[in-house]
Amino acid sequence: MTPERPRGEDAIPQMFAPVGAGAVEPSPPRQSPAGPHLYAALDLGTNSCRMLIAQPRGSQFQVVDSFSKTVQLGVGLEASGRLSRASMGRTIQALRICQKKIEKHGVTRMRLVATEACRRARNARDFMRQVRRETGLALEIIAPEEEARLAVISCAPLVSPRTEQLLVVDIGGGSTELVWIDLSAVPPEDRPRAIMRLHAGFTAHGDLPAARVVDWISVPLGVATLKDQFGDVDDDAARFALMSWFFEENLASFSPYNADNPRAGFQIIGTSGTVTTVAASFLGLRRYDRTKVDGLRMSSDQIDSVIRDYLSLGPEGRRTDPRIGRDRHALIMSGAAILQALMRIWPTDRLSVADRGLREGLLYAQMSADGVLEDGPYA
């Protein structure tokens, strides 16, 4: 598989901070008698269907409803190049629930997107038409660059003022996006806002100090697709090692790959179910608690310790481990293989765990485009 390269020039949170205008076209905000109208953001990935419904609240937004379900849309895609009838059926069932929530709350502003599985499937356009016909929802398939950009801006509140070199990693079901950002020219107090200003793209705009995107990459390997690549390897430890080295090989064209390992001023932010599960396991949480996970910093040694524990448990032990959960146990080792590869290349004691991602970025962009968020501190 060849990683997709840039083209051209280059557990639910309650409150979030804003970003600048996004890719959606602005429309006049409509106010209901009950207060600000609601917004929806839906992310249909290779493994999961997830949605947030939120309303603007000052300089932030408040989540009022949510949905998350494992639909395994990409099952069989690696072998056939098509979405299967069964996986499309599961997904449409989940989307019907989303449609009912949207209707129940009277949502009029929404952005509903699909990512890697639908980018790759030969029958994706037919599936989009089927979704529209059976649920009334209009999904759009977004490009890897937009997926990466939305993940980056959603993580901006976690950027430390001391960070000069930032790597944002979004491990999905079908692909993994990496974005390397140079913040050294930006005053420390403005670095989170400089990340927010990437809403307009990965090139600098305006006269304000800019976050410079050194490189980005979308590797067509996520927790589901990487697992499928090595499904015929029986030995648990051997399969894990092969997955990790294979993912590293697919990073070879990422330009910071061969750079000297940064020391001071380097931060990694990881956003995905893999990273939050590893963090929850490190904390020993038998019941997931977002307030303890989001923003947690972990070192390479701590992450390695959790992964070694996963390997010692074996498949059956992982299946019954409450820290991992029933929806995650089958995919945790492929995700851990990706995470281990990243830690091997860029060891750090400053990996920040982000329980946020594409949906939050979609909400920020819509609300900012409508001008319903006030200027204020990022949190």
Are 325 and 273 within 8 A, CB to CB? Answer: no
On whether both 206 and 328 belong to a single domain, the answer is: yes
Quickly count: other Cβ atoms within 10 Å of residue 206's Cβ. Answer: 8
On whether both 50 and 89 belong to a single domain, the answer is: yes
On whether both 138 and 227 belong to a single domain, the answer is: no
On whether both 30 and 83 belong to a single domain, the answer is: yes
Going from the C-alpha of 112 to that of each of 68, 196, 325, the distances in angstroms are 14, 21, 27
Provide mean pLDDT across the span 352-359.
Answer: 92
On whether both 80 and 170 belong to a single domain, the answer is: no
DSSP SS3 for 198 = helix
On whether both 66 and 203 belong to a single domain, the answer is: no
- For the cut 60, the answer to whether the pLDDT of residue 30 exceeds it is no
Supply the CATH number for residue 39's domain. 3.30.420.40
Confidence of residue 257 (pLDDT cuts 50, 70, 90): low
Helix H or strand E segment including 51: strand 48-57
Quick one: pLDDT at residue 263? Answer: 61
On whether both 157 and 269 belong to a single domain, the answer is: yes
Structural domain count of the chain: 2
On whether both 123 and 61 belong to a single domain, the answer is: yes
Q: Compare 78 and 236 and report the one with higher pLDDT.
A: 236
Query: Residue 64's domain spans which residues?
Result: 15-145+361-370
On whether both 32 and 96 belong to a single domain, the answer is: yes
Residue 9 lies in a domain: no
Residue 258 lies in a domain: yes
CA–CA dist 319, 326 (Å, integer): 6
Residue 375 lies in a domain: no
DSSP state of 190: G
Q: Compare 131 and 328 and report the one with higher pLDDT.
A: 131
Going from the C-alpha of 58 to that of each of 86, 152, 227, 265, 368, the distances in angstroms are 43, 22, 43, 32, 12
- For the cut 50, the answer to whether the pLDDT of residue 7 exceeds it is no
- For the cut 50, the answer to whether the pLDDT of residue 375 exceeds it is yes
pLDDT digits (tens, 9 = 90+) for 55-72: 998 767 899 999 999 999
pLDDT digits (tens, 9 = 90+) for 164-221: 999 999 999 999 999 999 999 999 988 887 887 776 677 766 667 788 889 999 999 9
- For the cut 80, the answer to whether the pLDDT of residue 8 exceeds it is no
Quick one: pLDDT at residue 130? Answer: 97
On whether both 158 and 125 belong to a single domain, the answer is: no
On whether both 88 and 137 belong to a single domain, the answer is: yes
Supply the CATH number for residue 264's domain. 3.30.420.150
CA–CA dist 52, 370 (Å, integer): 18
**Threshold 0.85, pTM exceeds:** no
On whether both 197 and 273 belong to a single domain, the answer is: yes
